[in-house]
Each structure stands twice: as structure tokens, then as C-alpha cells.
Amino acid sequence: MTAGPSQNKFYARVSSLVRRLGMPTVVLLAALAFDLFFITDAAFDQAGPRGIDLLLFPGIFGMVFCALWAQNRAAVAAVAASVVLVAYTLVVRYFTIPTYSSVLAHLSITEVVAGVEILFYAARRTRPGVAAAMIAGLVMATLTAVSGRYTNFDGTSNGTMAQAMLFGGVLLGGTLVFAIPGRDRTANPKRYEKLQKINKLVLGQWPLIGMLALALILEFSFTYASRAHGLPVLACSIIAAFIAIAAPRRPADAMVGLTAVMLLSALVMPFLRLDYDYPTPGGVPGTQIVAGMGLVVTLVRAVGLSKAVTRIAGLSAVVAGACVLNTNRPTPRLMTDPDDIAGFAVAGLLLLGISVAVGLALRSRDSERTQVIQSAISDAQTSERMALARELHDVVAHHVTGIVVQAQAAKLMGERNPQIAVEAMGRIEDAGVEALAAMRRLVRSMRGDAPAGSSEFSEQATTDLAADLRTLIERSNHGVKTAMKLELPPNVPHEVGRSALRLVQESLTNVGKHASGATEALVIAEVSGTELHLQVTDDGREQEHRPAGGSGGYGLIGMRERVALLSGRLSAGRAPGGGWRVEAWLPLEGEE
């Protein structure tokens, strides 16, 4: 089971959008979307005046604006947010607007998220004294909002205020723990590197985090409504959420930890005899259900289904036990109805099957992606090796062939005319220096020491193909007089020109090695239509003995590879009038 191309494209686009906007902005917008839906739905229900809830939106949008502003001007945005919270508390009191509780009492989830982000930026990006003042102002404004938004529809009891202070303290401490270490990246680079790893972990699991956040919001609201009776279970749900998010680092151990937390949560209710009814059917809080499904996906994705069966079975047993123990809360009795048990069993197996299927799909996708990357790396390495082999053969063999030809000439003519031998030695020296330079270029390229923007190719080829061909022919040491006919425009594509230069170079090298008795060679380079036409001919005859230095047999192979890379054509063979002829047609406008 693998994800289709359209799913992969959609996921890639969403991930790209998340990276472009930044996780804080995405979380803020997600919270705003939740409030838009939730408050709009509440505005037209039967509780309270119709549409009165819509008056909450100006304050919510004001906090969103302050949170976005804080990314650039943290101090000013913090002051503005404090003013918005206090001012809109007066508006809520004056118009008797009903509020709902999320993490903090009488504060919407958007206001909480915006406040946390403003607090983070204030602690991270402002001077210590300014940060302390801004944080104190935000805390006071939040307490004012929590205690002051009293309406006829919902009061704030002492227990609710205590919960709000507890949850607010946890949010404040957690935010400062993450914000303060990042104030100076150079002071503690190891700590900053850990924070970067946490950030990467969070970015890679944004779908799971979104679902956990939604479930936690509902559970927080339910905890406020239950007058703090659900605090022990809520604490277990928060721990379960953190375990699920951190699971990719050690999924097997995370599964054991989550199983223990869910077992504790299942035993808390009957042991403490709390009059608390779960917000979700089945005796297991929604946050823990989402965390369990996410961890099953992570574990199956990491180790495969066969290795994950034991731990998944343990988690399933705990979920089944929680369902039997706590489904009939607050009535303290076990679930024994076979129909109820069968219904919950089917629902549990369905959720488990979905989680396993998603984990297997992601594992298959990861495997395919790894194979594609490995194949791409292997292809790139092979292509690089072939390019280096062609360059080594075409460039170095060209110079070495010239050295061998000149040495043979000096050996034959040295006894008759020592001056010829001396001149040949000078040419051999020049050819050796050029061969060493070419070898150094190749070694520098293979070591990755070439200057930026250059390569072993670009250092030996310019944008003027005609000039490069003239230089090549004039400096050639293959021992055969060579004429040229060049009719080339100045705008030959660099890739085409580079390959043309190497084709001519290898052809002239073969003239020196194989053209026995040759007295003249001709090089033709011209543009014919949309193609570059190359032709190299000589008047030699086929060699009857082994060429000097031997023949590796890779010359024509390398030439055909170069031409094939440009989608061109190559022919090589005996010319009708004798001698050897090499012809190539290279497209000047290749496909992308």
C-alpha cells in the first residue's frame, strides 16, 4: 500500500507552505480556524442571545495581529496585546458576551496561542529588563481577563481560577524554558543545537500535533466544566501527547511509556472514585486515543509490523481494560453487555487497522524514497566516473600520444640529424608539461578543490569554439600536417562546443596512433541547419602493427558516449578514397 502521486504532491505542497509561513504562524492560523468554526456555531445555538458570541471576534483578531507583529517588534506587540486583553475584557463585561474556556478559563484558544507566541518572542528577542516588564504585563493582563470575564452564562469559581493559574504557570514556565536558551546562540551552541533538533522534530509531525492540540483543547474545556475533577486524567493525557510527539527518536521505548501512562489513566478513575465522565465514549480520553494511533503509526513505520506486534498488543490490552473499567462512568460498574463490548471492539479494531495501514504506507514510501536516493547517488557517481574516464582518455592520452610520436621521430632521425632530435626533445618537453597540467586539473576536480564555477572541462574550453579548435590543431603533436576549415558562429552552446573540442582532439590523437603513412589531415567544423557538423579525415592507410603505446579501445566508446549525451549522431570508418573519417552531428538546440 503506497501513497499515490497526487497525495505525495499534496503533502509536499502543504509541507512547503508550512516551512514558508513558519510553524508559529501555522499554529496561530489553525487556532483561529478552530475559533471561527466553534464560536460561529455557538453564536446561533439556543443558549443566550442569538449572534452575541460573534462579538468575541474583534478581540481574537486583535491578538492574532499582535502575535504576527511580535515576530518583528516583540516589545511593542507585547504591550499592545496586554492592552487588547484588558480592553476586551471590559467589552465582554459590558455587552455580557458568553465566553468559553480552552487551556485558560474564559480565553479562546487563539488568544492563548497568540499570548504564548508573544511571550516567546518577548523573552527571546528583547533585553532582559524589557523582557521581564513585558512578561509581567502579559501575566497581569491574562489574570485580569480570566477573572474579569464574568457573564450571566458562566461564572468563575475559585476552583476554576486555581486551575487557570496552574495551567498558566505551566505555559509560562514551558515557554521560558524554550525561549531563554535561544537568546544567544554563540553562548551555548550545544543547547541551541538541541533546540533546533526539537524544532525539526515538531515540523516533521505537524499533522499529529494538530490533532493532539484539538483533542487537548476539548479536554481542557471539559476539565474546567468538571470543576477540576479531571485534572489527574488531563495530566496523563498531556504526558501521552508529549510521548507521541517525541516517539520518532525511540519508538519502541515510547510505546512502552505510553502504555504505562494509559494504564495509569485507566486506573485513576476507579481508584480515586472521582465523579468524572470522559469526554469521549469508550472510557479513554480523545487525546490518548490520538496519541496511541500516532505512536502505532510511528512504530510500524520505524521497525515494521512484525517487530511491533508485541508492543501494539500490550497497548491494545490496556485500551480494552480502560474501556471495560470506565465506559459506564460516573456509575462505578464494569461494562458487561456483550453488544456494547462488541461495538467498542469493532471500533477499536478499526482505529488500530487504520493506524497500522498508515504506518505501513509511510514505511513503504520511506523505502521507495531511500531506493530512489540511492539510485540517484549511484547514477551520479557512475556518470562522474564516466566523465572523468573520458576526460582522462581524451586529454591525457592526446598529450602522451604526441610525446610517443615525437620520441619515435627523434629516435629515427637523431642519428642522421641531431638538430631534429633536439627540436623533438623541446616538443616532448612541452607536451609533457601540458600532460602534467591536464593531470593536475583532473586531480583537482576529483578532490573537489576546483574554484567555484569552474571544472576540469571549463578550464580547458572557452566560449569561442573556433579559437579553441585552432589552438588545439596548432599545438597538436600527432606528427601529421593538419588543415582546417572552420565556419562557426560565435554563439555555439558551451556544452556542444566542449564536446566538439574533445571529439576533434580524440580524432587527431587517433590519426597519430593509427594512421600509418598519413601525410595530411583535415578538420571541418561548420553549422548545418540546427546541427554542428564535424569531420576529421586523413590519407593514411590501416596500420599493420600495434600502435605506439598500445590501444586501450576506449576512444570510439568515449566519443559515442559524448555524442549520445547530446542526442547527436556519430559515424567512424574507412573513407571511400582511403584513409579514415570521423563525422559527428551535434544538435545546437537540445531538449531540456
Contact (CB, 8 A) for 298 and 254 = yes
Tell me, what's the pLDDT at 96? Answer: 84
Helix (H) or strand (E) run with residue 538 in it: strand 531-538
Can you give the residue ranges of every domain in the chain?
1-204, 462-592
Tell me, what's the pLDDT at 64? Answer: 92
Residue 53: C-alpha distances to residues 58, 98, 564 (Å): 11, 6, 71
Q: Domain 462-592 maps to which CATH number in 3.30.565.10, 3.40.250.10, 3.60.110.10, 3.40.50.20? A: 3.30.565.10
Summarize pLDDT for 432-464 with one digit per residue, the tens. Answer: 776 677 677 666 666 655 543 344 444 455 667
Q: How many CB atoms lie within 10 A of CB 498?
A: 21
Q: How many CB atoms lie within 10 A of CB 154?
A: 17
Tell me, what's the pLDDT at 152? Answer: 44
Mean pLDDT by 10 residues, the chain (592 residues): 56 71 83 88 76 88 92 89 90 84 83 90 84 87 82 49 75 77 58 63 73 79 68 84 87 90 82 58 81 91 88 90 73 66 83 90 85 79 70 64 71 70 72 70 61 43 77 75 86 82 83 77 88 88 54 69 85 82 84 42
Query: What are the helix (H) ranges across 392-417?
Result: 397-413
Summarize pLDDT for 506-521 with one digit per residue, the tens. Answer: 888 788 777 777 788 8
Q: How many CB atoms lie within 10 A of CB 503?
A: 25
Cα 410 versus chain centre, distance: 62
| Residue 108 Ramachandran class (φ > 0 left, ψ -120 to 50 alpha, else beta) | beta
Percent of residues in the chain assigned helix, strand, coil, to nearest 5: 70, 5, 25
| Cross-strand bridge partners of residue 541 | 516
Omega of the bond leading into 24 within 30 degrees of 0 (cis): no
